[in-house]
Structure 1
Amino acid sequence: MASKKMREEATCSICLHLMTNAVSISCGHSYCHACIVSFFENLYRMQPWLKTFSCPQCRAPFNMESLRPNKQLGNLIEVIKEMDQEMSCEEHGEKLHLFCEDEGQLICWLCDRGAQHKGHATALVEEACQGYKEKLQQAVTNLRQLEEECMNLKVFTAAQITKWNEKIEVQKQKIQSDFKTLQSFLHEEEKSYLWKLEKEKEQTLRRLRDNEANLEQKNHELQSHILELENKCQCSAQKLLQDVKDTLSRSWTVKLEQPEVLSLDVHTVCSVSELYFDVKKMLRRHQVSVTLDPDTAHYELILSEDRRQVIRGCPQEKLDNSSRRFSALPCILGCEAFTSGKHYFEVDVGEGTGWDLGVCMENVQRDTVMPQTPQSGFWAIRRCKEGYVALTSPLTSIQLTEKPLVVGILLDFEAGVVSFYNMTTGSHIFTFPKASFSDTLRPYFQVCLYSPLFLPPPDE
């Protein structure tokens, strides 16, 4: 009972817990320092004009200056806390000074002598506590290690999540780019095939209409002869017989020439599924073998014996000053000339950091520096330190997700289209706006230092 009464006296009536930093006010009641200060501040916030306040228990007036530490009550609270820590045996009411190792529980000296714990290993609480404290600390150490491993695994897993999301995003962009490339390629092929189909339509229609016009003319001629003969039949006997033999002779000489027999089979056909499933295969159906023309090579360019590789080096001596040779820029042309049809060739650019690739007109200027644009007769793309650009006017920047090691160049002469492809990935790079080619076109290359170019044979 005494213990219960002591606890009631030491309990704060505001927070209903044992007081912390107990203080007394002028009426004698005590509270936690934090509780009474909070009580005062709340009242002052609602009624700032008040100078005194009422005790939460007896309603007696007090002010904050009356707060005094209650040391005796504080000591009593410490005693109560120590008593709480010293637990007693529920069966015998004695203090639990012993620890039974076998049962793993606290016991009193009477329990130790009882039949339940007879023969069990027991130790004083203080001695057992030290041993188990060390074991608990070791367990904490082990758990700390596991916690650290867990955190490391968590960090690693978070990094994996980030890496996975990044990979998925890269793959997503690649898929989108590939489909965009395929759509672009198919769109260009569609335009090319439709243009060819339209051209085939016009050619055949022109011949059919010529046949139709000839037949119309022959029909008028036949009607004229028929009318003449019918009129002859309506004349008198004398007029009918007059020149009748010449009239009949002329009528029998009229012949109907058969019109030109034209096939109505459509020759412009396209396998869309083949285009869809293998862009590289479709391009290489038009592949031609291209070699380099030494007579056009700038004096700093060095060719291999098979004329399929070119590098830029020291000036070559004993070269003729042919007007066909590039003298202003380190350029060279392919030997092949294109005047019609669809042609495709590849250039192995490797890790080179500077080059121009494409086609140009046969008659481009070679002794002066000029912009290599379609207006000057060039359809080419460039690799430079800033990246990739199409040599349009103005230049068009080309954004590539993967660097091409082999570049494919497709020329459709009749359609007026020049397209470039990254053959490392089979993706589209750039297509120049439709042009109208009237001159011979040849493969065109500009070579920079440390950037050799190689023209692989078609079978590779």
Structure 2
Amino acid sequence: MASPIPTKKLKDEATCAICLSLMTNPVSISCGHSYCQKCIMDFLQNPNFIVAGKEKFCPQCRAPFEEQSLRPNKQLGNLIQAIKEMSHEIVCEEHGEQLQLFCEDEGQLICWRCERAPQHKGHTTSLVEDVCYGYKKKLLEAVTYLSKLNNECVNMKVLTTEQISEWKGKIDVQRKRIKSDFKSLHSFLREEEKLYLWRLKKEEEQTIRRLKYNNEILEEKQSELQCAILELELKCQSSPQILLKDVKNTLNRSWAVKLERPEAVSLDLSTTCNIPELYFDVKRKLRSYQVNVTLDPDTAHPKLIISEDRRQVTLGCCQENLSSSPRRFSAFRCVLGCEGFSSGRHFFEVYVGEGTGWDIGVCRENVQRDQHMNQMPESGFWTIKLCKEKGYIALSSPPVHLHLSEQPLVVGVFLDYEMGYIAFYNMTTGSQIFTFPKASFSNTLQPYFQVYPYSPLFLPSSDE
């Protein structure tokens, strides 16, 4: 049996403030109070409770509300039904007797007369008080089981929420990567377009120049032939004496005239561009211009150690017995590549790994190499760098701080000498890092490297 005190509290909560009885068909208004549906409707129709302006107020808290705000309160209705069931003994619908027995076979409450009826003959029956504890225990076990499932459900919901967040994060990263890759691709294709249009223009100018030259020669020949024809026509119209004068030499000269054909000029275009191939793979296109760069020991600062194959450089102790060379860097720990570029397109890669500092790019072969060296384009340097304090920087004028989504392990350097184009790529992702403003080159350019502690640089060959 339920405790009378909680039951009384429940009854108080479920009692209508208008009729002071358990609510029938309870409805709620906008302020949160509930009443019998009939009671509140009668209240609304009573003119004594309507003030000027036809506003209606809650009978308990006097808060204004609209009639349209009435909503059935099904939960309160179920609670009232439960209170009614606790307040009265349940009786058998068929016999009107108290249901004091429980049929184990049928799993239902029965009265003593039901027990004697044919439909329950031979069934196992027990007093309600005797079986209640056992079934209550089973119900509590079921509650424990369902609570465990509920906790698992909650944990799975938390996990699913975390997975949604993680998945959205991955999608966001991938979206940024795709945008960055296509931005690099667009930039690369624009430069490719400029190059091919420049080549096409040069081819046009060259062919037009040759054709115009041929045309000038033909015009001179045509003028010469027209003069000869006019001379012969005049001779034919003259007197016999003039016509026959030196006639044989005139005829011999006329038949000796030959028309030399100008040099043939091909009208087949040599500048062609395969757009799908360019679009297919930026890295593959870049590597089609790759050159094998090796380090020049005669330019290396005394503290730089170069490997035997001249592909790796490390910062170490100052070396003695080095050859004296005016090409050697004396103030900054730099070294140049052996290869020089004075025309064409070239590409080389530098493995920087997870080093904390490096400077990479190209420079003019005649740059200053002492303490007055200024690593800027106006002084002949086109480089980018990584430093601990400021991160990635393009040493342009003025310097530009670079915000990279991923750390490059391999940096690619691309040079188009005629176009004045120098660009840097993250070869780990194939995305562009930075492109210098267009320059005009007049000297030989060489690969340039500056080395920092614990950050060796390695030059992979084009076969690797």
| Matched residue SS, 2:349 | strand
Report the counterpart of residue 3 of structure 1 in structure 2. none
The change in CA–CA distance for 1:87 and 1:415 in structure 2 (over 3 A counts) is: same
Partner of residue 457 from structure 2, selected from 444, 453, 460: 453
Partner of residue 184 from structure 1, selected from 166, 184, 187: 187
Report the counterpart of residue 339 of structure 1 in structure 2. 342
Report the counterpart of residue 381 of structure 1 in structure 2. 384
| Matched residue SS, 2:406 | coil
* 1:244 positional shift: 7.4
* 2:446 corresponds to 1:442: yes
| Matched residue SS, 2:212 | helix
The change in CA–CA distance for 1:459 and 1:93 in structure 2 (over 3 A counts) is: same
* 2:114 corresponds to 1:111: yes
Q: Aligned partners of 2:238, 2:442: CA distance in 1, in Å?
A: 64
Report the counterpart of residue 413 of structure 1 in structure 2. 417
Q: Aligned partners of 1:370, 1:316: CA distance in 2, in Å?
A: 22
* 2:144 corresponds to 1:134: no
Task: Report matched runs for 1:226-241 at 5 Å.
Answer: 226-228=229-231, 230=233
| Residue-by-residue CA offset, 1:82-105 (whole Å, 9 max, x unaligned) | 983322233333322222222222
The change in CA–CA distance for 1:13 and 1:172 in structure 2 (over 3 A counts) is: closer
Report the counterpart of residue 397 of structure 2 in structure 1. 393
Report the counterpart of residue 75 of structure 1 in structure 2. none
Report the counterpart of residue 402 of structure 1 in structure 2. 406
The change in CA–CA distance for 1:367 and 1:237 in structure 2 (over 3 A counts) is: farther
Report the counterpart of residue 306 of structure 2 in structure 1. 303
The change in CA–CA distance for 1:107 and 1:279 in structure 2 (over 3 A counts) is: same
| Residue-by-residue CA offset, 1:120-170 (whole Å, 9 max, x unaligned) | 333332232222111111111111111000111111111122222222222
Task: Report matched runs for 1:260-409 at 5 Å.
Answer: 260-385=263-388, 386-409=390-413
Task: Report matched runs for 1:147-158 at 5 Å.
Answer: 147-158=150-161
Q: Aligned partners of 2:86, 2:307: CA distance in 1, in Å?
A: 101
The change in CA–CA distance for 1:248 and 1:13 in structure 2 (over 3 A counts) is: closer
Larger Rg: 1
What amino acid is the match of 1:454?
F
Q: Aligned partners of 1:83, 1:448: CA distance in 2, in Å?
A: 85
The change in CA–CA distance for 1:273 and 1:116 in structure 2 (over 3 A counts) is: closer
Q: Aligned partners of 1:83, 1:157: CA distance in 2, in Å?
A: 42
Unaligned segments of structure 2, at least 5 residues: 1-10, 24-34, 53-58, 60-82
Unaligned segments of structure 1, at least 5 residues: 1-6, 20-30, 49-54, 56-79
| Matched residue SS, 2:289 | coil
What amino acid is the match of 2:159?
F
Q: Aligned partners of 1:390, 1:85: CA distance in 2, in Å?
A: 87
* 2:177 corresponds to 1:174: yes
The change in CA–CA distance for 1:262 and 1:114 in structure 2 (over 3 A counts) is: closer
Report the counterpart of residue 63 of structure 2 in structure 1. none
| Residue-by-residue CA offset, 1:225-276 (whole Å, 9 max, x unaligned) | 4445555666667777778788778767765443223222222222222222
TM-score with structure 1 setting the length: 0.77
| Residue-by-residue CA offset, 1:175-214 (whole Å, 9 max, x unaligned) | 2322222222222112111111211221222222222223
What amino acid is the match of 1:331?
C
Q: Aligned partners of 1:11, 1:410: CA distance in 2, in Å?
A: 86
Q: Aligned partners of 1:436, 1:183: CA distance in 2, in Å?
A: 23
What amino acid is the match of 2:139?
L
Partner of residue 200 from structure 2, selected from 197, 201, 204: 197
* Stretch deviating more after TM superposition (134-143 or 424-433): 424-433
Identity, % of aligned positions: 66
Q: Aligned partners of 1:83, 1:437: CA distance in 2, in Å?
A: 99
Structure 1 vs Structure 2 CA RMSD: 3.5
Q: Aligned partners of 2:429, 2:222: CA distance in 1, in Å?
A: 63
Q: Aligned partners of 1:394, 1:226: CA distance in 2, in Å?
A: 72
| Matched residue SS, 2:339 | coil
The change in CA–CA distance for 1:111 and 1:247 in structure 2 (over 3 A counts) is: closer
Q: Aligned partners of 1:252, 1:368: CA distance in 2, in Å?
A: 79
Partner of residue 261 from structure 2, selected from 240, 258, 263: 258
TM-score with structure 2 setting the length: 0.76
What amino acid is the match of 1:374?
P
Task: Report matched runs for 1:10-89 at 5 Å.
Answer: 14=18, 17-18=21-22, 84-89=87-92
* 1:407 positional shift: 1.8
Q: Aligned partners of 1:12, 1:262: CA distance in 2, in Å?
A: 108
What amino acid is the match of 2:407?
K
* 1:12 positional shift: 5.5
Contact 1:329 1:369 in 2 (8 A): no
Q: Aligned partners of 1:92, 1:230: CA distance in 2, in Å?
A: 149
Q: Aligned partners of 1:276, 1:377: CA distance in 2, in Å?
A: 32
| Matched residue SS, 2:433 | strand
* 1:293 positional shift: 0.6
Contact 1:298 1:331 in 2 (8 A): yes
* 1:430 positional shift: 2.6
| Matched residue SS, 1:419 | strand
Contact 1:332 1:446 in 2 (8 A): yes
| Matched residue SS, 1:106 | strand
The change in CA–CA distance for 1:187 and 1:46 in structure 2 (over 3 A counts) is: same
What amino acid is the match of 1:294?
P
What amino acid is the match of 2:393?
V
* 1:297 positional shift: 0.8
| Matched residue SS, 2:460 | coil
What amino acid is the match of 2:386?
R
